[in-house]
Amino acid sequence: MLTMILKRLLMAIPSLIGVVIVTFLLTRALPGDPAAYFAGPAATPQAIQEVRVKLGLDKPLIVQFGHYVVDLVHGNLGTSLTTGQPVATELHNRLPASAELTLLGLIVSIVIAVPLGILAATKPNSILDHACRIVSTAGVSLPVFFTGLILVYVFYYLLGWAPAPLGRIDVFYLPPPQVTGFYLIDSLIARDGDTFIASLKQLFLPALTLAIFSLAPIARMTRASMLAVLSSDFVRTARASGLSAYTVIITYAFRNAMLPVITTLGMVFSFLLGANVLVEKVFAWPGIGSYAVEALLASDFAPVQGFVLTMAALYVALNLLIDVLYGVVDPRVRLEA
């Protein structure tokens, strides 16, 4: 197992190098001149040139790349020009916000979608099956920012049940002392029930928004994979042997149907991180998605590069995790082979 993980990590290195080169070149190819942007409204050409020299943008591309790589090796992702803070610190502060939201969204989604998929598969073409189809089609066809705005409108504006969409925690609460950066976990560590509830309330609507968006692939995949398994011989044997419906469906069928569901979960998690950008905008969530988009709009290279690199590393880790999970779920899958 350990050698497998190491091998996989080694294999990830070339792709990370590729990401570094491509993002560097892409950000340089963006339209817009950061020097003109940062020289301010009333700048003369000379002032713009001064800023360009200050930012090191007057040097040849290859020299700039060299500096970038050297910094990267030292763990320095550069400094964001728009926010004035080191990119590494910002990502470190903002990643937990995005990750907490995405994970919770995914959990909510799994809790709804998996049982829904199983039920739909056990009774194909029943009302339940159609309901599953409608829910998942509706969820995937509504853009996330739209779902988000509707939820805010109904639950915050009209009903007043949800707290103000003002980020991770009510304005008048202090965030819990940072341990993991996940407010839910940190507030539990600090044994602060109030803060836990306050941050859970803030999380609820954005997480639900993400969950609605990701219901479809999980529910559909669960259903399809369950249908295939339910029609196989061993299930028929189990049924013929008089096992209870629960044992047949959950213990035998579902465990065998889980592999494609896990693959889908990996994919869903990746695109949820992307969909996050819009949800973060709607809920004023201080995550990495909105950070990267703002940087992109200002032609601010360093955060964009840092963001893409972080995402790439995250995907590598995620894929590895899923591969490992395969082996746990289904001993027949031997990755060493």
Partner 1 sequence: MKRRDFLKSMTAVTAAAAVPAPAVWSPAKAQSRQETLLIVSESGPNNLDIHGVGTNVPGYEVSWNCYDRLISHEMKTLPNGTPYYDKEKFKPELAEDMNVGDMSATFKLRKDAVFQDGTPVTANDVKWSFDRAVTVGGFPTFQMSAGSLTKPEQFVVVDDHTFRVDFTKKDRLTVPDLAVIVPCILNSELVKKNATAQDPWGLEYTKLNTVGSGAFKVTNWTAGSQVVLERHDNWKGGPLPKLKRVIWRMVPDAGNRRALLERGDADVSYDLPNKDFSELKSDGKLAIVSTPYSNGIQYIGMNVQHPPFDNVKLRYAVAYAIPYQKIMDAVLYGLAKPMFGAPADKPTEVAWPQPHKFTTDLAKAKALLAEAGYPNGIPDPITISFDLGFAGVNEPTCVLVQESLQQIGIATTINKVPGANWRTELTKKTMPLFTNVFSGWLDYPEYFFYWCYHSGKSIFNTMDYQSPQIDAFIDGARAAAATGDKASYDKDVKDFVDLAFTDMPRIPLYQPYVNVAMQKNISGYQYWFHRRLDYRSFVKA
152 binds partner 1 (CB under 8 A): yes
Question: Which tokens is 89 given?
Answer: 């610190």
Give me the residue label for tokens 């995790």. 321
Least distance from partner 1 to the Cβ atom of residue 308, Å: 18
Closer residue to partner 1, CB minimum distance, 120 or 278: 278
- Give CA–CA dist 174/309, Å, rounded: 31
CB closer to partner 1 out of 200 and 224: 200
Please state the closest distance from residue 153 (CB atom) to partner 1, in A: 7
195 vs 178: CA distance, rounded Å: 13
* C-alpha torsion sign, points 106, 15, 10, 330: positive
Which residues are CB-neighbours of 144 under 8 A, at least 6 positions away? 209, 210, 213, 275, 278, 279, 282
Return the number of the residue (12 or 162) whose C-beta is nearest partner 1. 162
Binding to partner 1, residues 262-281 (CB under 8 A): 281
Nearest C-alpha neighbor of 114 from the set 330, 260, 274, 302: 260
Using rule CB under 8 A, residue 53 touches partner 1: no
Q: Which is nearer to partner 1, 14 or 160 (CB)?
A: 160
Residue 75 Cβ vs partner 1, minimum distance, rounded to whole Å? 20
DSSP H helical ranges for the chain: 2-29, 34-39, 45-55, 61-73, 87-122, 127-141, 144-151, 183-189, 193-230, 233-240, 245-246, 255-282, 288-297, 301-329
The span of 48-56, 106-114, 126-134, 205-213 binding partner 1 (CB under 8 A) equals 48-56
Distance set, CA 334 to CA 64, 172, 330 (Å): 44, 52, 9
Site for partner 1 in 157-196 (CB under 8 A): 157, 160, 164-167, 170-173, 193-194
Q: Does 294 bind partner 1 (CB under 8 A)?
A: yes
Torsions phi, psi of 314, nearest 5? -65, -40
Binding mask 132-151 for partner 1 (x = CB under 8 A): -----------------x--
Interface residue with partner 1 among 4, 5, 12, 37 (CB under 8 A) is: 37
Question: What is the footprint of partner 1 within residues 68-87 (CB under 8 A)?
Answer: 80-85
Give the interface segment with partner 1, choosing from 41-49, 240-248, 251-259, 311-319 (CB under 8 A).
41-49
What gap in Å lies between CA 246 and CA 104, rounded to an integer?
A: 28
Contact between 319 and partner 1 by CB under 8 A: the answer reads no
Q: Rule CB under 8 A: is residue 44 a binding residue for partner 1?
A: yes
Give residues in contact with partner 1 (CB under 8 A): 31-34, 36-45, 47-48, 50-51, 54, 80-85, 90, 93, 149, 152-153, 156-157, 160, 164-167, 170-173, 193-194, 197-198, 281-284, 286, 290-291, 294, 297-299
